[in-house]
Amino acid sequence: MDGSTQQPAQPTVAKARHSGSLTGDPLFKALAMATGIGVLLVLGVIIAVMAIGGIPAFKAFGPGFLFSAVWNPVTQHFGAAAPVFGTLASSALGLLIAVPLAFGTAFWLTALAPPALSSVIGMAVQLLAAVPSIIFGMWGFFVLVPPMAHYVQPTARHLFGHIPGLSALVAGAPFGTGLLTAGLILAIMIMPSITAVMRDVFVSMPAVLRESAYGLGATRWEVMRQVVLPWSRQGVVGGIVLGMGRAMGETMAVTFVIGDSNHIGWSLFAPSNTIASLIALEFPESPAGSLKLASLMALGAILMAISFITLWCSRMLLARGEAQAGKR
Amino acid sequence: MASSPPASSLSVSGKSRSRALQRKAMDRLATVLSWCATFLVVFVLGSILWTLLKNGLPGLTAALFTRSMGAPGQGGGLANAIVGSILQTGLAILLGAPAGLMTGIYLAEYGSHSRLARAVRFVSDMLLSAPSILIGLFIYMALVAPLGHFSGFAGSVALAILAMPIMVRTTEDMLRLVPLSMREAGIALGAPKWRVILFICVRAARGGIITGVLLAIARVAGETAPLLFTSLGNSEWSLDMRRPMASLPVAIYQYAGSAYQDWMQQAWTGALLVTLGVLIINIVVRIGIRGGRT
């Protein structure tokens, strides 16, 4: 009974499904492709909107916008040099601190740690990356800034204040906020992603290379320094550049500890501003259509250009490192 | 240890011994420094958690969850900010997930190595690390300024742009782990490709894809910068996505800079809530996919 009623029905079901596939497949493929192209468009539109938004500022100040360090809402005169300097300087400081930390941690995770501990600490490091930016800001402001103002800065002044070359670096009142504090916070924030990249490329090295180096009698440090590091150079540099890209766009944490002041100076302790912190701080006081808002947009466009070029470089390096790893 | 002198060295034994000692010392130094670096990193994480618990726990009262934000000294809570955060994050995932999943499917199943797919993958990776404040500025120019008012909806769109690349990445990675033989089996049974993808591949990669969605939630739930210029913040109870909407991170930002004791307390407690939520999602996800891509 059952078989006789279903038998004739089956071909029609199959047919219906088949015809469904004929329309369904191209449709689904087109949909998938369209969303992919949509992603491309999002980036394109972001770039276009930022550039258009900044045009009034570039028109008003010309190329001088890039080189002027003035930011004066009263006289309606704005320039990008101070925040651009602050962005580059704080990111550079952050990298200077983060790279040794990340390298040490990656070395520990891949070569020194007992396996059980390695996975737990590895996870803790990645959790650090998940902590929201604003939390780093609060922690930095309430935990890091007071000791910077009371101990680090006076000590640094006491030690280096009389040395001609270094005195400029430690000049200024002990606020605790400033470039160095921002660099410290940035270092903590970008360190996990650099560590993750380093650990991945270290681990991806064929074990034979590592083992043969140990077989020749190399110490763990020598294996790292003379075998692993040269082998994974491109990936490591890619990870560092990625960290730099992240540092330059970091907003909330820096806003808390940078001190909000637009000037260019060599002091590590002087309050400063990055592009991102300036945008976050000044935006609420910038009415729509004003020259100030246009200047902020122009700054945003500059930040976008800097960080996308950096991220592009990092992707290229990482991709090349991966391709090389595949080849060997 | 492994630092015995190489067999080929025919130098004076004293010289080679001092060289061996030197190498050993260098190894010890690197080891100690590396331990220090790791310890420092774990210490910082511990310090952040300790600070949050110490300052945040005293403010964890029922009123915090039942009252809206109020003027200093009037015993306000964070209820509207918590609900606002949930609403905006939820809508952001609803907007971002379909786009992220479809793009991931396109990259893994259709495009693969085509020039377009490579460009999409590249751009998605760039968006993954793009400064979030720029996304906020962009949405301000594209949605807030033309419409003339800040809105929770604009905040959601900004968060969706941030959430999407994470889901693209995990969806593609997870679909690539599905063995080819499963696809072949599906095709051999006469299923059209879209059915094979949706009902076999996506199903097999379900766990990983959900992981991506959770990670995206964890990422955007703590974002402050993109919301400053889009949903703005709101001190009153509001569920209307077309109006300015409060959110936990923005409330923390407003309160943390204030001079009032009770606002500060709420900022710390809010910070504790956000951090615990984000970290718990991350821990669950990472324990769930031990050995997977981080």
- Taking an 8 Å cut-off on Cβ atoms, the answer to whether B110 and A279 are in contact is no
For chain B, the structural domain boundaries read 13-59, 64-288
> pLDDT class for B204, splitting at 50, 70, 90?
very high
pLDDT at residue B293, as a whole number: 44
pLDDT at residue A298, as a whole number: 93
Residues A268 and A135 in one domain: yes
- Taking an 8 Å cut-off on Cβ atoms, the answer to whether B256 and A137 are in contact is yes
- Architecture, CATH, for domain B64-288: Orthogonal Bundle (1.10)
- Taking an 8 Å cut-off on Cβ atoms, the answer to whether B130 and A311 are in contact is yes
Which is more confidently placed, B291 or B101? B101
Residues A32 and A98 in one domain: no
Which is more confidently placed, A62 or B37? B37
The residue type at A326: G
Tell me the CATH number at A257. 1.10.3720.10
Give the helix ranges, DSSP H, for chain A: 2-61, 64-67, 81-107, 115-130, 133-139, 145-147, 153-160, 164-167, 179-203, 207-215, 220-223, 229-231, 233-249, 252-257, 275-282, 291-327
- Taking an 8 Å cut-off on Cβ atoms, the answer to whether B47 and A143 are in contact is yes
User: Does any domain span residue A48?
Assistant: yes
User: Does any domain span residue A162?
Assistant: yes
- Taking an 8 Å cut-off on Cβ atoms, the answer to whether B252 and A138 are in contact is yes
Q: Is residue B17 over pLDDT 60?
A: yes
- Taking an 8 Å cut-off on Cβ atoms, the answer to whether A50 and B134 are in contact is yes
Residues A131 and A212 in one domain: yes
pLDDT at residue B12, as a whole number: 56
- Taken in order A42, B282, B55, A254, the sign of the CA dihedral is negative
- Taken in order B57, B41, B165, B162, the sign of the CA dihedral is positive
User: Does any domain span residue A172?
Assistant: yes
The residue from A19, A34, A61 where one domain ends is: A61
Other beta carbons within 10 Å of A135: 24
Measured between beta carbons, the chain B residues lying within 8 angstroms of A304 are 130-131, 134
Interface test with A, best of B34, B101, B201 (most A CBs within 10 A): B34
Measured between beta carbons, the chain A residues lying within 8 angstroms of B218 are 130
Task: Of A10-14, A85-89, B91-95, give the lowest mean pLDDT range.
Answer: A10-14
Give the distance, in angstroms, between the CA of residue A22 and the centroid of all CA atoms in the same chain: 45
The answer to whether A305 and A58 have CB atoms below 8 angstroms apart is: no
Q: Is residue A326 over pLDDT 80?
A: no
Mean pLDDT for the stretch of residues B39-64:
94
The answer to whether B127 and A246 have CB atoms below 8 angstroms apart is: no
Q: How many residues does chain B have?
A: 294
- Taking an 8 Å cut-off on Cβ atoms, the answer to whether B222 and A133 are in contact is yes
With b for 16 or more beta-carbon neighbours within 10 A and e for fewer, the A88-105 pattern comes to bbbbebbbebbbebbbbb
Number of compact structural domains in chain A: 2
Query: pTM score, two decimals?
Result: 0.90
> pLDDT class for A16, splitting at 50, 70, 90?
very low
Interface test with A, best of B19, B42, B106 (most A CBs within 10 A): B106
- CA B144/CA A280 separation, integer angstroms: 16
> pLDDT class for A73, splitting at 50, 70, 90?
confident
Q: How many residues does chain A have?
A: 328
Measured between beta carbons, the chain A residues lying within 8 angstroms of B1 are 219
Q: Is residue B97 over pLDDT 80?
A: yes
Where residue A219 falls (left for φ over 0; alpha for ψ -120 to 50; beta otherwise) is beta
Residue A208 tokens, joined: 């034979």
What ipTM does the predicted assembly reach? 0.89
Measured between beta carbons, the chain A residues lying within 8 angstroms of B47 are 139, 143
> pLDDT class for A328, splitting at 50, 70, 90?
low
Which is more confidently placed, B74 or B142? B142
Cα–Cα distances (Å) from A121 to A189, B51, B100, B152, in that order, read: 16, 20, 31, 38
pLDDT tens across B232-283, in order? Answer: 888 888 888 999 999 999 999 999 988 888 899 999 999 999 999 999 999 9
The answer to whether B250 and A302 have CB atoms below 8 angstroms apart is: no
- Taking an 8 Å cut-off on Cβ atoms, the answer to whether B111 and A33 are in contact is yes
pLDDT at residue A14, as a whole number: 46
- CA A275/CA A258 separation, integer angstroms: 11
Find the domain containing A11 and state its range. Answer: 1-61
Q: Is residue A54 over pLDDT 70?
A: yes
Mean pLDDT for the stretch of residues B14-37:
91
Task: Of A143-157, A166-180, A191-205, B238-252, give the lowest mean pLDDT range.
Answer: A166-180
Measured between beta carbons, the chain B residues lying within 8 angstroms of A217 are 2-6
pLDDT at residue A2, as a whole number: 43
- Taking an 8 Å cut-off on Cβ atoms, the answer to whether A29 and B110 are in contact is yes
In the stretch 11-40 of chain B, residues with CB closer than 8 A to chain A read 23-24, 26-27, 29-31, 33-38, 40
Share of chain B above pLDDT 90, in %: 70
Does residue B276 belong to the interface with chain A, where contact is any CB pair within 8 Å?
no
List the beta strands (DSSP E) in chain B: none
Residues A301 and A243 in one domain: yes
Residues A50 and A88 in one domain: no
- CA B20/CA A288 separation, integer angstroms: 70
- CA A60/CA A172 separation, integer angstroms: 34
pLDDT at residue A22, as a whole number: 61
Mean pLDDT for the stretch of residues A202-212:
90
Which residue in the block uniquely carries the two structure tokens 């990340």?
A: A102
Out of A31, A104, A141, closest to residue B38 by CB: A104
Residues A21 and A157 in one domain: no
Interface test with A, best of B41, B157, B195 (most A CBs within 10 A): B41
Residues A106 and A26 in one domain: no
User: Does any domain span residue A74?
Assistant: no
Out of B30, B44, B103, closest to residue A36 by CB: B103
User: Does any domain span residue A70?
Assistant: no
The residue type at A218: A
User: Does any domain span residue A66?
Assistant: no
Measured between beta carbons, the chain B residues lying within 8 angstroms of A249 are 129-134
The answer to whether A26 and B110 have CB atoms below 8 angstroms apart is: no
Out of A21, A101, A128, closest to residue B37 by CB: A101
Residues A192 and A257 in one domain: yes
- CA B251/CA A190 separation, integer angstroms: 25
The answer to whether B76 and B87 have CB atoms below 8 angstroms apart is: no
pLDDT at residue A170, as a whole number: 83
Share of chain A above pLDDT 90, in %: 55
The residue from A61, A89, A110 where one domain ends is: A61
pLDDT tens across B153-193, in order? Answer: 999 999 999 999 999 999 999 999 999 999 999 999 989 99
Mean pLDDT for the stretch of residues A42-66:
90
The answer to whether A302 and A80 have CB atoms below 8 angstroms apart is: yes
- Taking an 8 Å cut-off on Cβ atoms, the answer to whether A126 and B294 are in contact is yes
User: Does any domain span residue A44?
Assistant: yes
Out of B131, B256, B274, closest to residue A307 by CB: B131
Mean pLDDT in chain B? 89
Q: Which of B7, B39, B30, B36 is nearest to B20 (CA)?
A: B7
Task: Of A133-147, A165-179, B135-149, B216-230, give the lowest mean pLDDT range.
Answer: A165-179
| Alpha-carbon distance A159 to nearest alpha carbon in chain B (angstroms) | 25
Cα–Cα distances (Å) from B78 to A173, B117, B135, B269, in that order, read: 37, 44, 26, 9
Residues A206 and A177 in one domain: yes
- CA B196/CA B191 separation, integer angstroms: 6
Interface test with B, best of A138, A190, A277, A295 (most B CBs within 10 A): A138
The residue from A31, A61, A91 where one domain ends is: A61
User: Does any domain span residue A203?
Assistant: yes
Measured between beta carbons, the chain A residues lying within 8 angstroms of B105 are 32
- Taken in order B186, B188, B191, B194, the sign of the CA dihedral is positive
Measured between beta carbons, the chain A residues lying within 8 angstroms of B3 are 217-219
pLDDT tens across A250-276, in order? Answer: 999 999 999 888 888 888 888 999 999
Does residue B45 belong to the interface with chain A, where contact is any CB pair within 8 Å?
yes
In the stretch 71-130 of chain B, residues with CB closer than 8 A to chain A read 98-99, 102-103, 105-107, 109-111, 116-117, 119-120, 122-127, 129-130
Q: Is residue B194 over pLDDT 50?
A: yes
Cα–Cα distances (Å) from B134 to A50, B161, B223, in that order, read: 8, 11, 13
